Amino acid sequence: MSLQKFILRRILASVPVLIGVSIITFGLMQLAPGDVVDHMIAANPNVQPGEAARLRQEYGLHEPIWAQYLDWMQGVLTGDFGEVYSSSRDASAIVRARLPETLLLAAFGWVFAILIAIPGGIYAAINKDQLGDDVSRVFALSGISIPNFWLGLMLMALFAVYLDWFPTLDPQTGLLSREMLWWLILPGITIGTAASANLMRIMRTSMAEEINKEYVTAARAKGLPKRTVYLKHVLRNSLISVTTVAAFLTASLVSGSVVVEVVFGWPGLGRELIQAIQLREINLILIITLLTGVVIVLANLLADIVYGLLDPRIRDEY
């Protein structure tokens, strides 16, 4: 099968997955107490209880649940992702406005994770059972164990408040400005730390296994320098496992961005999602959830493509 056909088949296969995600999300939100009108009334005495029926009718919330879902799905097929009731705005407009920030944060976290994990894992594998390996193990365990919200708060308290090396708030200078990218460092490190710890362990384990294989012994016996053996041969074979985990980590980076955005006040989709859940803004919840699903599907697709680049045998199986 050609690569194009493979990609098309994977994309088509993801459609029922995304529909399933939307049904589950929609259903779960129906189980939560109250709806958006209840929360409007609860939060604001100006919205009187007698208005509840009128508002529900206006928002279509008086319809049966299945009818509401079909109505939403119909809108999605025409590009209308519904309204955020509390602000009378299109859900898609909010997502369009906030998506770049979230993607930038996730991308930074991903790059940080790779830049730490790959060299760190290689070093640990080469220095297996020595001090370097022990240090990496401690770092990995810490990175996995420390809650990212606590890490973020501590980084902010130390580097932003106490040392004043970083701003505590959005510098308001444009997404790709130098000031904004500087502000991005702390949340990016926060979101990337757990991912880098995970990846580092996988890199280390995978590479250590490869180093013990016979072809490595043969290559060394042939007189190839260690550096060439490890970086040209061993590393490439080790990366397949790492690629798999890296794809999965995309999901954790996207979901982790929710907490990190709240801690740092990063103006991304994560904060919007938190508020949408609190207010039961079902349309916004659905579009963000769907978007997350699409990102994960694409990440896995990319991983499969990278497999083919790393291992020609896999490429032949497309």
Partner 1 sequence: MASNNISNLNRRRILQGIAATGAVGLAGCLNGENGEADVDVDDALERNEVDIDAIQEGGRLEFALPRDSIDDYDWADSSAAEDSVVFDTVYDGLTTADSTGETHLWMAEEYEPAEANDVSVEDYAEYMVEMEPESVEDGVPSFDLDENNLVIMQHPDDEPEEGEPMRVLTRDEAADAVEDGTFGIRLEGRLHEGIEFHNGEEVTAENVVRSYDRFVGSVNEGQWFDSFLHATAPDGDDGYTFELYAQEADAAAYLELPPYIFPSEHFDVPAGDLDPRDDGDMVPVGTGPYEIAEFEEGSRLLLERTDNYWVEEVGLENIPWYDGPEDFPERPAIEEINIRFVDDSAGRSNALEDGDVDIAYELPSEARNNFHSSESFAVSANPAFGFKFMQFPVEDTDEGGAFAQREVRQAVSALIPRQQIVDLVEQGWGDPARAPIPEPASGMGTAMDYEDLESQDWAYNVEPDPEEAEALLEEAGLERPVEVTVETNSDDEERIDKMELVVDQLNESGLFDAELETPAALGDWTAELYEDGARHDSAERNAAAVIGLAGTPDPHGFHQVLHHPRMHNGCCNFFFPEGALPEEFIEQMESCRFGVDVAEDPDTRRQAYDEFWPEVADLSANVIVDYSLNTGTVSNDVVGFNVHPQTQAILRYALYNPADQQITYLDR
- The set of residues, in sequence order, having a beta carbon less than 8 Å from that of 97 and lying 6+ positions away, is none
Rounded to a whole number of angstroms, the minimum distance from the CB of residue 242 to partner 1 is 34
Q: Which residues pair with 89 in a beta bridge?
A: 84
Which one of residues 25, 68, 86, 289 is an interface residue with partner 1 (CB under 8 A)?
86
d(CA 19, CA 35): 22
Question: Closer CB to partner 1, residue 178 or residue 236?
Answer: 178
Rounded to a whole number of angstroms, the minimum distance from the CB of residue 160 to partner 1 is 7
When asked if residue 51 is in the footprint of partner 1 (CB under 8 A), the reply is: yes
- For the segment 6-45, give every residue that binds partner 1 (CB under 8 A): 32-35, 38-45
When asked if residue 65 is in the footprint of partner 1 (CB under 8 A), the reply is: no
Phi, psi of 266 (to 5 degrees): -70, 125
- The set of residues, in sequence order, having a beta carbon less than 8 Å from that of 173 and lying 6+ positions away, is 179, 180
When asked if residue 169 is in the footprint of partner 1 (CB under 8 A), the reply is: yes
Tokens describing residue 40? 């409007």
Contact segment (CB under 8 A) with partner 1 among 8-16, 161-169, 211-219, 239-247 equals 161-169
Contact segment (CB under 8 A) with partner 1 among 86-94, 128-136, 218-226, 304-312 equals 86-94
Classify residue 83 by its DSSP letter. Answer: E
Question: Closer CB to partner 1, residue 174 or residue 312?
Answer: 174
**Which ranges in the chain belong to alpha helices (H)?**
3-31, 36-43, 51-59, 65-77, 91-126, 131-145, 148-155, 178-211, 214-221, 226-228, 235-264, 269-279, 282-310, 312-315
- For the segment 106-125, give every residue that binds partner 1 (CB under 8 A): none
Rounded to a whole number of angstroms, the minimum distance from the CB of residue 86 to partner 1 is 6
Which one of residues 167, 181, 211, 301 is an interface residue with partner 1 (CB under 8 A)?
167
Question: Closer CB to partner 1, residue 62 or residue 128?
Answer: 62
- For the segment 213-242, give every residue that binds partner 1 (CB under 8 A): none
Question: Closer CB to partner 1, residue 58 or residue 134?
Answer: 58
Rounded to a whole number of angstroms, the minimum distance from the CB of residue 150 to partner 1 is 7
d(CA 66, CA 52): 21
When asked if residue 74 is in the footprint of partner 1 (CB under 8 A), the reply is: no
Q: Mask: binding to partner 1, 244-273, rule CB under 8 A, as x and -? A: ------------------xxxx-x---xx-
Phi, psi of 41 (to 5 degrees): -70, -40
d(CA 258, CA 250): 13
- For the segment 270-299, give every residue that binds partner 1 (CB under 8 A): 271-272, 275, 278-279
Q: Give the pairing of strands 89-90 and 83-84.
A: antiparallel
Alpha carbon separation from 223 to 200, 207, 212, 218 (Å, rounded): 29, 20, 17, 9
* Closest alpha carbon to 147 in 191, 201, 202, 84: 191
Three-class secondary structure of residue 266 per DSSP:
coil
Binding site for partner 1 (CB under 8 A): 32-35, 38-58, 62, 86-90, 93-94, 97-98, 150, 153-154, 156-158, 160-162, 164, 167-170, 172, 262-265, 267, 271-272, 275, 278-279
